[in-house]
Amino acid sequence: MRDTRGPSGRVSEITVVLCQLFGPGASCRPLGTGNARPGPLRPGTLLGVNGEPHAGETKVVLSGIQPTGAVHLGNYLGALRWWVDFQDRYDAFYCVVDLHALTVPGDPAELSQATFNMATLLMAAGLDPGRCTLFVQSHVHEHAELAWLLECTATMGELSRMTQFKDKSGKDGEESARLGLFAYPVLMAADILLYQADLVPVGDDQRQHLELTRDLAQRWNSRYGTTFKVPDAAIPPPGGGARIMDLQDPVHKMSKSAASGAGLISLFDDPKLIERKVKRAVTDLDPPGPGAVRWDPEAKPGVSNLLELLAALRGGRPAEIAAGYESYGRLKSDATDAVLEMVVPLQERYRALARDPAAIRSVLAQGAARAGEVAAKTMGAARSALGLLPR
């Protein structure tokens, strides 16, 4: 079992707010087609943790994605579609976290292109610069600056317990892993705390990092006086796309670093390739027939993953959707259609946006300016809380 204990060894106390906001099995359709959250909400309506709209101060959302590897269906279902959805309800900040990409070897010539492409993709997925602040992490120098201050708040012990560091330090082990990879979750905490974020929409694999962020904010606030808001993770509920699995190896999550591309659906894959990948998805060993298509992630990880894809893309709950199928073949062809309904228009929008790189650059410049104003304010408060001498 994965270790979900926090740095202090206790079980996660992070509020999984999506369940509270939308009910279990929540799903959204950010690309403008049908089913979404319960009840009509006006753009900009705020939701309290009990799911009721309320007036008052606008809540802040922040999230980030690395400009590395292929953006895949897991990224979209676990994170990006919620980002799109949240831009109408909250003051939303989204960044392409290029500084995080430096934690593992990479090609400098590719980094800036990958960063630019990721920003384009986020807009193609539905982020609208008129409704959110979209920027590149390294354009706002306060991220690196606050990370240092937080590194002097975090401990070696708590960072040593981060499972992603253990996974990512690779076969050569910690000896040659970059110091930045070890400190990566602290930079992520800085990203979040700089904007006084209330909510952080991420997939399930970021739970432990969110817990660390909360611990650091609480420790800092009690040591130096209240400076940061303590954020909540917004992780989709079970069956809601928080952990999309590899199609060829459905006990492991779909991941940019998977050994083979056959189990990963990239948002840039050709529709024909997507069709082939879903058709070849590993289903489970028992023969098709009544009861073979059922929602049971432990005993039937392959089928359950396809049901989860379908539920997340079209709405509904995986267990109920299962009842409509007797054969794996029909489940796969419906899952393919659902993926293509989302991916094909996204790819068309991407191609259209990519024709005007100057417009994307201008979005990112404006985003950095707005993000920089907010970040500078928090940074000033953090410096003075620590007793750093004003200039």
Catalytically annotated residues: 168, 253, 256
Per-residue binding letters, 54-93, with ligand AMP (x by CB under 6 A): -----------xx-------xx-xxx--------------
Q: Which of 219, 256, 349, 377 binds ligand AMP (CB under 6 A)?
A: 256
How many residues of this chain interact with ligand AMP, rule: CB under 6 A? 19
Q: Which of 243, 294, 317, 332 binds ligand AMP (CB under 6 A)?
A: 243
Residues of the shown chain interacting with ligand TRP in the complex, contacts defined by CB under 6 A: 62-66, 97, 100, 188, 191-192, 200, 202, 206, 209
Residue 191 binding target from ligand AMP, ligand TRP, none, CB below 5 to 8 Å by type: ligand TRP
Q: How far apart are CA 136 and CA 139, in angstroms?
A: 5
Contact between 263 and 254 (Cβ < 8 Å): yes
Q: How far apart are CA 192 and CA 313, in angstroms?
A: 28
Residue 6 binding target from ligand AMP, ligand TRP, none, CB below 5 to 8 Å by type: none
Q: Which stretch binds ligand AMP (CB under 6 A): 177-185, 210-218, 241-249, 326-334?
A: 241-249
Write down the least CB distance from residue 96 to ligand TRP, Å: 10
- Which single residue brings its beta carbon nearest to ligand TRP? 64
Contact between 139 and 183 (Cβ < 8 Å): no
Per-residue binding letters, 105-124, with ligand AMP (x by CB under 6 A): --------------------
Tokens of 181: 């990879």
Q: Residue 243: which of 190, 274, 202, 203 has the closest Cα? A: 203
Which uninterrupted H or E stretch holds 60? Answer: strand 60-65
Degrees, nearest 5: CA angle 167-268-271: 120
Q: Where are the beta strands (DSSP E) in the chain?
A: 60-65, 91-96, 133-136, 199-201, 232-234
Q: Which of 253, 277, 294, 317 binds ligand AMP (CB under 6 A)?
A: 253
**Phi and psi angles of residue 278, each rounded to the nearest 5 degrees, phi first:** -70, -40
Q: How far apart are CA 153 and CA 59, in angstroms?
A: 26
Q: Which of 99, 233, 247, 254 binds ligand AMP (CB under 6 A)?
A: 254
Q: How far apart are CA 7 and CA 124, in angstroms?
A: 37
Q: Residue 192: which of 268, 235, 242, 137 has the closest Cα? A: 137
Binding-site ranges for ligand AMP (CB under 6 A): 65-66, 74-75, 77-79, 202-203, 205-206, 241-244, 253-256
